[in-house]
Amino acid sequence: MDFELTEEQRLIQQTAKDFAEKQVAPAARIHDREGQWPGDLVAQMGALGFMGMSIPEQWGGAGSDALGYALAMEEVSAACASVGVIMSVNNSLVCDPIHKFGNEFQRKEILTQLASGKALGCFGLTEPSSGSDASSMDTVATQDGDHWNITGSKNWITNGPHADFIVVMAVTDRSKGSKGVTTFLVPTGTPGFSCQEPDEKMGIHGAHSCTVFFENCRVHDRYRLGDLGGGFRVAMTALDGGRIGIGCQALGIARAAYEKALAYSQERKAFGVPLSQKQAIQFKLADMATEIEAARLLLWQACSMKNRGVRHTQESAVAKLFASEMATRVTHQAMQVFGGYGYSKEYDMERHYRDARITEIYEGTSEIMRIVIAKSELAQ
């Protein structure tokens, strides 16, 4: 297997690194402290092609492959995990399913706006009383001629307070279980759509999420995304890509924490020598470097399968599970290297520690990842 990046992938990586270091990192602390939405950075990502990376240029995207997207996600998330998840949701959970399942109208009129960053999208699957058990939702869509009326609520909707469109899953035939779910693409300006104030969370403060409500939201059938009853498959297929994105977000967070711990260990002296000369610290650094590299290779494997058009449900789950739990371990150890300063708000370490934690929860908890992996292993 060849791990050499192509010239195009190296260019994406370098562009993302420059953007992340010069534009994203300097504002990360303030976005975190103030809970400020990084609207200017989202606009810049649109101009760079980062909001629809794997979408062909014809539909407003950058035409990159899955690995190019992974490289950019790692760089952006290393600078700011909030900006990383805003980018990931728009790419993986909004643009990709519209590209894969959308009709001509949706691709031409909606995808081009979303992929070019002129509009922002969000993804509505989770509900107040169903998260992991995603198909048991309450939101319903009832047909009225060539229109649908959608009623219900969705919560923890990342990008929700700022989105122009929502990809939403609703029950169209309750007797059919997961085969009675259909996906719709709803403009958030549709009468009956509303959202609450942003949620208060432990981390990723710059990435606003909220609860959204549909009260008889009426959309034409041309806004139906994919087949009638095919909505759960649309959601699961989107999440197969989304889990790569979140895995890369975790990888970026872990790398940022590790690089800071590595530098600090060489500056800070204890017992007359730099911390880096102590074997206890060297072992921590070695473990962190090894785990980061392992996560990256698992993520790249999932990207390689996605590029080949092969189903990668298991590989995405393996990569997301390992990368997110790795980010929790690495940020924990990196904080140990920093000691009390790591716990202080004067440094970025406590932000990385808080931001890492969500990657084990959203887009499928670690427990759900293990269910997906075990199911796939047992079916072989």
Q: Which residues bind ligand CAA (CB under 6 A)?
A: 85, 89, 123, 125-126, 132, 134-135, 156, 158, 178, 232-233, 236-237, 239-240, 313, 362-364, 368, 371-372
- Report in angstroms how near the CB of residue 220 gets to ligand CAA at its nearest: 25
Q: Which is nearer to ligand CAA, 81 or 281 (CB)?
A: 81
* 3-state secondary structure at position 245: helix
- Report in angstroms how near the CB of residue 373 gets to ligand CAA at its nearest: 10
How far is 281 from 339, CA to CA, in rounded Å? 12
Q: Which is nearer to ligand CAA, 210 or 275 (CB)?
A: 210
Q: Which is nearer to ligand CAA, 225 or 281 (CB)?
A: 225
Distances (CA, A) of 195 to 63, 87, 150, 157: 33, 20, 15, 10
Q: Is 363 a catalytic site residue?
A: yes
Backbone angles phi, psi at 321, to 5 degrees: -60, -50
* 3-state secondary structure at position 144: strand
Q: Which is nearer to ligand CAA, 93 or 285 (CB)?
A: 93
Contacting residues for 91 by C-beta, under 8 A, at least 6 apart: 50, 51, 52, 53, 54, 69, 241, 245
Contact 351, 32 (CB under 8 A): yes
- Report in angstroms how near the CB of residue 133 gets to ligand CAA at its nearest: 6
How far is 377 from 143, CA to CA, in rounded Å? 40
Structure tokens at 122: 């969000």
- Residue owning tokens 């730099």: 274
Instruction: Determine which one of 57, 363, 367, 377 is catalytic.
Output: 363
- Report in angstroms how near the CB of residue 179 gets to ligand CAA at its nearest: 7
* 3-state secondary structure at position 113: helix
How far is 327 from 155, CA to CA, in rounded Å? 25
- Report in angstroms how near the CB of residue 11 gets to ligand CAA at its nearest: 28
Q: Which is nearer to ligand CAA, 184 or 362 (CB)?
A: 362
Could you give the residue numbers annotated as active site? 363
